[in-house]
């Protein structure tokens, strides 16, 4: 009878000494001698994998000597304590079946590769220790997002990926069209989008916020969690053209409630990573960023600093530091300012609240001072802005005035304005970049290394 394969993580955690098991995985390391071979195989369930001991009495021992790193094997053998120093357990093989050979051209070697090189072989990098740990964390963390909001009784809403609303400004939207780009139908000298698939210009969503607000005004507390697309020509380690965003929205809530939720959420995710992804987090602490565990532990425990925008400006001015971009009330905070605040002044996560209205979006609620809006950013060391949120303008007249000031057409957003027409109420929400959270938790420096198959300008391979 064919025995079921046991996942290596499960085997190491709950295996019985002296019992027989079947494990399958990919060869990470081979150490051969005439009479004995040591083969480390990994099946993706944990960082370490398990050492397989093969002795020369195996029928295919000679053949095993010719396999390369990366080969797929199924091993049947006995779980025993390892006399060697590097591992607690090992499997003494009864039989080894070579499932898929890998020859010497296999691009992953038994050594450290640069992340740049591994990006060029993104189809194989999940088989490395680092990317194994990252994508296990990513999977777990996605589940933690749902668990958190489920515990808080938030409704999960799937906002559309294809949309016709282009509220945050044209140019950053990926066009969705079935028209022939080389020969589009014309209306005068311009493309006639009335003849396009949806009868109008459409594109990939840049945010589910506006639709999220509509659901918040029916269900109270809601969140979205899905892919988001930006066609901006951003070439940084923190931007991607396709990324995942978590956007909660709460009715009958103000900016302070919003910050409370954001803080609770971020701390929950930190605690979750420490408790539920212990081995992978320890791996990051060892190999990616020394001191990571301590840093995350502090975030999970300490209260976040809250600072008014005006206060932040004063602190920056008084810092005595010369910035490339001069600081004054009214300017947007540049990366150098944000990093100074979170890294030098605070030394941890910090909310900046109530920004000048002129540097923020139309839907943010105008404060009583008439010059700031109820906006907030959460800044964290290294990554910078991880959350952007606001209390939304619930007063129809103010919203229409603001749209007029910014030259935003009301007609395409008639449905959004309707929400302020009937049963409007104070509400607030934020967007958390899922990949930025992953960077923060893993210590990885580049967003392209926390996305399975990243899309950035000029890169759409795999």
Partner RNA sequence: UCCCCAUUAGCUCAGUCGGUAGAGCAGGUGACUGUUAAUCACCUUGUCCUUGGUUCGAGUCCGAGAUGGGGAGCCA
- Asked if 66 and 103 count as a contact pair (C-beta separation under 8 A), the reply is no
Binding-site member from 29, 143, 150, 200 for RNA (CB under 7 A): 29
Contact pick of 42, 69, 159, 442 for RNA (by CB under 7 A)? 69
Q: Which CB sits closer to RNA, 194 or 290?
A: 290
Name the minimum Å distance from CB 367 to RNA.
19
Name the pairing type of β-strands 72-81 and 36-42: unpaired
CB 76 within 8 A of CB 41: no
Of 100-108, 158-166, 292-300, 413-421, the segment contacting RNA by CB under 7 A is 100-108
Going residue by residue from 296 to 335, which x/- string records binding to RNA, judged by CB under 7 A? Answer: -----------------------------x------x-xx
- Determine if 384 is a binding residue for RNA (CB under 7 A): yes
Q: How far apart are CA 289 and CA 285, in angstroms?
A: 5
User: Does residue 447 interact with RNA by CB under 7 A?
Assistant: yes
Contact with RNA (CB under 7 A): which of 117, 252, 415, 453? Answer: 117
Decide: is 34 part of the binding site for RNA (CB under 7 A): yes
Query: Nearest to residue 433, comparing CAs of 305, 246, 172?
Result: 246
Which helix or strand (DSSP H or E) is residue 50 part of? strand 50-55
Told to check if 73 binds RNA by CB under 7 A, we report no
Tokens for 153?
Answer: 């009784």
Rounded CA gap, 303 and 287, in Å?
Answer: 28
Residue 436 within binding range of RNA, rule CB under 7 A: yes
Smallest separation, CB 387 to RNA (Å): 5
Find how far residue 394's CA is from the centre of its chain.
Answer: 30
Q: Should residue 343 be labelled a site residue for RNA when binding is judged by CB under 7 A?
A: no
Nearer to RNA, 131 or 193 (CB): 131
Say which residue the tokens 């190999």 belong to.
287
Closest-CA residue to 457 (of 179, 197, 242, 166): 242
Q: How far apart are CA 455 and CA 142, in angstroms?
A: 19
Q: Which long-range contacts (CB under 8 A, 24 or more apart) does 111-115 make?
A: 115/446, 115/449
Q: By the criterion CB under 7 A, which residues form the site for RNA?
A: 29, 31-36, 38, 51, 53, 66, 68-69, 82-87, 90, 92, 103-104, 107, 109-111, 113-114, 116-117, 119, 172, 207, 230, 232-241, 243, 245, 325, 332, 334-336, 338-339, 384-388, 431-433, 435-436, 445-448, 458-459
């Amino acid at each position: 009878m064919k025995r079921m394969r046991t996942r290596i993580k499960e085997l190491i955690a709950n295996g019985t000494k002296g019992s027989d098991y079947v494990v399958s995985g990919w060869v990470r390391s081979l150490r051969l001698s005439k009479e004995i071979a040591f083969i480390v195989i990994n099946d993706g369930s944990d960082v370490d994998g398990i050492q397989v001991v093969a002795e020369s009495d195996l029928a295919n021992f000679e053949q095993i000597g010719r396999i390369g790193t990366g080969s797929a094997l199924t091993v049947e053998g006995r779980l025993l304590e390892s006399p060697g120093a590097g591992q607690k357990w090992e499997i003494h093989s009864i039989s080894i079946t070579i499932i898929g050979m890998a020859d010497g051209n296999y691009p992953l070697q038994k050594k450290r590769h640069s992340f740049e090189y591994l990006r060029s072989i993104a189809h194989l990098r999940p088989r490395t220790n680092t990317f194994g740990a990252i994508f296990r964390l990513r999977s777990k963390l996605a589940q933690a997002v749902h668990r958190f909001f489920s515990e808080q009784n938030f409704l999960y809403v799937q906002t559309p990926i294809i949309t016709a609303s282009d509220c945050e400004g044209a140019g950053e939207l990926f066009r969705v069209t079935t028209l022939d780009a080389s020969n589009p139908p014309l209306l005068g000298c311009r493309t006639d989008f009335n003849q396009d698939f949806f009868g109008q210009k459409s594109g990939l969503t840049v945010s589910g916020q506006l639709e999220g607000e509509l659901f918040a005004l029916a269900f109270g507390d809601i969140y979205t969690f899905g892919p988001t697309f930006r066609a901006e020509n951003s070439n940084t380690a923190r931007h991607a053209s396709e990324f995942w965003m978590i956007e909660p929205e709460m009715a009958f809530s103000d900016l302070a409630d919003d910050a409370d939720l954001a803080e609770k959420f971020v701390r929950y995710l930190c605690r979750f990573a420490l408790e539920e992804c212990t081995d992978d987090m320890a791996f990051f602490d060892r190999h990616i960023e020394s001191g990571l565990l301590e840093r995350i532990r502090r975030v999970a425990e300490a209260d976040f600093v809250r600072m008014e925008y005006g206060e932040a400006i004063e602190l920056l001015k008084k810092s005595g530091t010369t910035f490339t971009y001069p600081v004054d009330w009214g300017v947007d905070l540049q990366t150098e300012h944000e990093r100074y605040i979170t890294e030098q002044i605070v030394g941890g996560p910090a909310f900046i609240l109530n920004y000048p209205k002129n540097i923020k979006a139309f839907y943010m609620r105008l404060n009583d001072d008439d010059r700031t809006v109820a906006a907030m950013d959460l800044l964290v060391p290294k990554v910078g802005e991880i959350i952007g949120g606001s209390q939304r303008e619930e007063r129809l007249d103010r919203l229409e005035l603001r749209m007029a000031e910014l030259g935003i057409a009301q007609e395409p957003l008639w449905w959004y304005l309707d929400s302020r027409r009937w049963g409007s109420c104070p509400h607030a929400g934020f967007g958390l970049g899922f990949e930025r959270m992953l960077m923060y938790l893993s210590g990885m420096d580049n967003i392209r290394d926390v996305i399975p198959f990243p899309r950035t300008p000029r890169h759409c391979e795999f």
